[in-house]
Chain A
Amino acid sequence: MSLRNPTEHDFEFDVPAIETLATYVTAYGLGILFLIPLYQMFVLSITPTDELGSFSWFPEDVTFAYWSWVLFEQPLIYRWIFNTLLIATVTTLLVLVFDSLIAFSLTRLEWPGRKLVLGIIVSSFMVPAFVNIIPLFQVINQLGMMNSYWAVILPFTAGPLGVFLLYQFFRDIPEELEEAARMDGFSTFRIYAQIILPLSVPILSALGLFTFVWSWNQFLWPLIVLNSDAMYTIPIGAVTLQSVYGEFANRLMTMLAIVSLPLFIVFLLFQEKLISSVQLQGTTG
C-alpha cells in the first residue's frame, strides 16, 4: 500500500542477524564477566606464594599444596561446614513443619481470630529483618541461648514468607478433596499429612531449598549470637580467616573455595529449582 513507510525497507534483511549477534555478545560478555571473580578465586588458590606479587590470568607454576593443606590440616573448616549444615538443615525442617501446620490451620480449619492472625503475620512482612537485632539479642540472652545453635535457628523460623507462600498454595487446593477424605473418616491430622502435604511437594521443596540456601548464607545474626571458633558457621568463620591469612591470598582463596563448595554443589544439582524458588517470591509480592 502506498501508505507504507519506505525508509524501513532498506534494513529489512540485516536487522535480525545484527540483533542476534548483539544478543550473543551482550549475554555471553556479561556471563564471562560474572565468572571472573570465581575464576580468580580458583586461580589464586593454585598459585605459589612467590608468584602472588603480580597479577596474572594463568600462573606459571601450579600447586595444589594449599588445597591439601586446608583439607588435611585445617580441621576447623570441617567443624564450620558441620555447624552450617546442621543449622541450615534444622532451620529448613522446622520452617517446613511450622509453616505448613499453620498454613493448613489458616486455610482448612475454621476458628475465631484466624483472619486476624493471618493479617498480623502478613503485615510483619513490613518489619525489616535486621532492625530487630538489639531487642532480639536481649531476648536470646535472657533465654540463656547465647552461643548455641538454637540462638540462630529459632529466629530464622519466625519469618512470614513460608507461611504466606504455603497459605496461598493450600488455599487453591480444591475443597472437595478434603471433604471426600472426611467422609472416608480421615482425622484432621491425616488430611494434613496424607492429602495436603503430598499435593504440596513442589512448593514445599521450593520453599525448603530456598530456606536452606538462605540460612546457610546468613551473616549478621550468627555474627551476633555465636562467639567461639567451634560454633562458627562458614560465613562467620571465613571472616576470621582474613586476619590470619590476609597476607597469603592463595591460602585464603583456597579456604574460601573449599567452604563455598558445598553450596555450589547444591546449586549445580538444583539450579532450575532454586531459581524458580526465588521467582516464586516475585509472583506473590
Chain B
Amino acid sequence: MSEITCTDVSKLYDPKGNSILAVDEVSLTIRDGEFLTIVGPSGSGKSTLLRMIAGLEDITDGEIRIGDRVVNDVPPQRRDVAMVFQNYALYPHMSVQKNMSYGLKLTTDLSTEEINQRVEETAEMMGIGDQLEKKPGSLSGGQQQRVATGRAIVRDPEVFLFDEPLSNLDAKLRMSMRTELQRLQEDLETTSVYVTHDQTEAMTMSDRIVIFDEGEIQQVGTPEEVYANPTNRFVADFIGSPSMNFATVEMEGNVLIGADFEYRVSDRIADRVREGDGGAELELGIRPEDVTVEAEPGDNRIPVTLDVVEHEGSDNYLYLVSEDVEWTVRVPGDRRPEEGSRLHLEFPESELHVFDRASGENLLAEETTEKPTAVTDGGRSAEE
C-alpha cells in the first residue's frame, strides 16, 4: 500500500512553439488506501496528471513519489500501478484470459499455474469467470469494462488509476458499476485515483475529491466539504446538479443589491464580505434546494416569474426569471405552481455564498457551514 505525493508537478506541451501548460505546479497527496477522484471539465489537465502518475507522460517539472520512491524516471511497468482506460484498451486479438494474464507474465516470476489461478479468482470476483476464452470483441460493453478492471486488479498493484472508466457505458450500467467499483476498492484497500468529468460519479464514489480546472487544483476535500463549502465560484458551479444559482450584486451597507432585488444580511456576513473584498462587484450564490418559493412579496424576497416546470420524479424543478437572472429551484414533486405566475424567492442567510466577481473567491468560505473546513495539505499548497 502506498501514498502518492505530487510536488509542484507541471506538464508543458510544446507543439510547434505554442506551449500549452496542461498542468501547472500541482501539489497533492493521495493517502494510502484512499479513493480519490479528480474531477473537472474536459481539457482541464486532470487526465494528464493521471497519465503522469502512470508514467505515460513525461513530467516537465516537479516530482511524483509513489510510496517513498521518486518515480519521475521510472518507466510505467516498474511503478507498480495498474490502469483502467476510458476505452478499456483491451488487446482485441487476445482472449480475456490472455488479456488478464499478460501483465503478470511480463512483470512477475509467478509460474503459469499461479498466474492462471490468480486470473481465474479475479475473473470470478468480477463475474466474468465464464468468459475467459472469449475475445473482447464478442463481449458486451459492461463485460469489457469488467475485464479491463479485472486486468488491473489481478496485478495486485500499489495503485489503481482509473481514466473515466465508466463513460462508455449507458446510464443504468454506469450506476451499478459505480457501486461495484466502490465496493471492490473498499475490499482491496488499494490506493485509487479516479479521473472523471462527471461530478455525480465524483460525489458518490470518493473519499476525497479534487476539483481541477485549467491545470490547477481548485479545491480538495470530502464530497460534503466541496459541496457545502466551495472555495470559489468555479467549484460552486461545477459541483451539484442542478447548478448553483448566481446573481450579480453590489453591497451597500448591509444590503446586497441586485438588478431588481435587495437582500439584507447580518453584520457578521457583511463584515466578512467587506474584509475579503472592498466594494467591488460581487456575485451571490444559492443552491436550488436551499431556496423556497413564496406567493407573497416580503423583505429579502426576490420577485420572479415562473417560466417552466420540469418533473424529475420525486422532485420538481422550477425555472424562474427575474430581470437578468435565471433561477432554478428544487421543490417537492407535489408542488406545482402555474407557469407564468409571479412568485417570490426566499432563502436563509446561512446557505448564502458571496463570490468576488473578479477573482471568483468565495468570501464566505468557512463561515456558512458548521463544519470546520479541514481542507487538506495538498489543496492549500496548490493555491499559493
Contact = CB atoms under 8 A, between A and B. Distances in A.
A–B in direct contact per CB < 8 Å:
yes
Nearest to A3: B108
11 contacts: A1-B80, A1-B157, A3-B107, A3-B110, A4-B78, A4-B107, A5-B107, A5-B108, A5-B109, A9-B78, A12-B78
A1 B79 CA distance: 9
A4 B75 contact: no
Contact of B158 (A1, A5, A9, A12): A1
A9 B74 CA distance: 10
Interface of B: 75, 78, 80, 107-110, 156-158
Interface in A96-130: none
Nearest to B78: A4
Contacts of A12: 75, 78
A169 B224 CA distance: 54
A4 B75 CA distance: 13
A184 to B, nearest CB: 36
Majority SS at the chain A contact face: loop
Interface of A: 1, 3-5, 9, 12
A1 B69 CA distance: 12
Q: Which of B75, B110, B156, B157 has the most CB of A within 10 A?
A: B75
Contacts of B80: 1, 4
A5 B75 CA distance: 14
Contacts of B78: 4, 9, 12
B60 to A, nearest CB: 18
Nearest to A15: B75
Which 5 pairs between the two chains have the least Cβ-Cβ distance? Answer: A3-B108, A1-B80, A5-B109, A3-B109, A5-B107
Contacts of B157: 1
A212 B234 CA distance: 59
Contacts of A3: 107-110
A9 B158 CA distance: 19
A2 to B, nearest CB: 9
A5 B103 CA distance: 12
Contacts of A4: 78, 80, 107-108
Contacts of B158: 1
Nearest to B80: A1
B217 to A, nearest CB: 30
Nearest to A6: B109
A122 B275 CA distance: 80
Nearest to B104: A3
Nearest to A4: B107
